[in-house]
Structure 1
Amino acid sequence: MELRQIQYFIEVAKREHVTEAAVSLHVAQSAVSRQIVNLEAELGVDLFIREGRNVKLTPIGQTFLEHMEEAMKVIDNARREVQEYLDPERGVIRIGFPSSLAAYTLPTVISEFREQHPYVKFELKQNSYTELINAVVKGDLDMALVGPLPRHEKKVKSHILFTESIVALLPASHPLAGQRSITLNQLRDDSFILFPQGYVLRQIVETACKQLGFQPKVSFEGDDIDAIKGLVSAGLGVTLIPEITLIDNLPRSTVRLHVIEPQVTRTVGVIIPSERPLLPAENLFFEFIRDFFKVLDRYQD
């Protein structure tokens, strides 16, 4: 079994089309077909069902694909480890983040890091809270910034960077807009604009409301922080969002108010895999981001 055969097999399985796989691989279709046939002959099983020009994995083909994808991750990590051992200053860091940390937190940290390590490259992936944790567990990401930090996920290690307030964002025309702070109970009868069910920020808001004995009336949902802010700006409801998302970007026709009862907060931190060590470039960034927020916290105190 050759590495080239595995690469061809994975590409065909992903695209379910030999010609499209060949184009993506920049090789002749006949070369791809021949390697697939050789691989099946060596294994003694059919990996694909042929359906005209399309192909589909057999059940054993699907099982084989899962193992080969894991094997390729191991090979890629080994290659990266060798390269970064030779020169960690030219490594690649794959990092994930949610939309609530996209506008300020992550760009600020990466910018500061690149001042000291200009040749380290980043592959950035924005995703939901659960998907980010799963990607770190599976090895698709090296680390992720998340908030709040997971408590019961054994396959990741969590390191807190800071704790931030969840604040209310109201239309400027709202009756409470002139106040400096509010209690959450004062928004009991308002229409809320929140993330969809399953998003961790939705859970934080609903938990806070539940403490006061009510369920927020959700008029609109958005899976992006900027979309939610835009809906509030249009006067379509109120929301509770992390304060850091408003540092440089308070939407027009809105006001930000602190919630004093109950105080709603979230921890923000970085998660890394617990079952494999960080590569040299990854460790450089991991240590940097922890030190960065320690220094920032001292200045804020």
Structure 2
Amino acid sequence: MSDTTDQGQVADAVKGNWVDRLAPTPARPFLRLSRADRPIGTWLLLLPCWWGLLLAVAATGFRPADIWIAAGCAIGAFLMRGAGCTWNDVSDRDIDGAVARTRSRPIPSGQVSVRGALVWMVAQALVSFVILLTFHPTAIALGVLSLLPVAVYPFAKRFTWWPQVFLGLAFNWGALLAWAAHTGSLGWPPVLLYLGGIAWTLFYDTIYAYQDVEDDALIGVKSTARRFGDRPRPWLRGFAAATVALAAAAVLTALPPLPAMVALLGVWAMGWHMAWQLSRLEIDDPATCLRLFRANRETGLILLPFLAVAAAL
């Protein structure tokens, strides 16, 4: 039986999403390429941006331009996640066609040609670049540099058991960029926050990868899920602990005692949410893995109000 419905819906998309219900029919395949029907990836790309911005505001004070930085990061996260996913689908079109969960994506299912996908990718990247040009020159340079891990990530699963590291390098770059957009420079706090975000990505994307371990083994694709086998919990606990420790170190190096104490409460709450996910993980149940992966939006959102309060002190 095909994984694609008569309307071209993707198998692992959120049911009843706005793309499948409301978007103009000709636009739907391209929006599916951008994963607009699966918004969790945009959140996971955006949240480190907002962490970095709020930590910078808490460290150095609010500026009116920060409102645009926050909005620009949100628009840019949507567009660059779309461009990155389009590039991923172009690069993985043969692999996606061999995996049950992904063969309904627009390229392997025939909804979009490779040429059309490449044009769509460039269009999204160009609009993102226009937004990037409104930021500080240091942030612009970082934004251009971020294209390197984005370009490499789709191929990482072909040569390493740790492709999630490359995803983490790309998905958490916003912590550096947003800090630089506010301050005009880098330092230890955003670097530590960035490293904490990479550990977080290793946590949530390993859970995600357990959906595909059987298909990945058949076609020879590597992942941390395949590397860890039926004993992922010690690794996942380590990734969660590293996330908390590095985020706490970022807070402590950036903020004075009272704001730091407030922000550390948020870091602790974020760690608690990751522990909650571990308590419910069933690696042999793809639906549970997908649900817990999506729960990481809440994991990242938990930290934001604590950083906002710290910035207001």
Q: Give TM-score, length-normalised by structure 2.
A: 0.23
Higher strand share: 1
TM-score by length of 1: 0.24
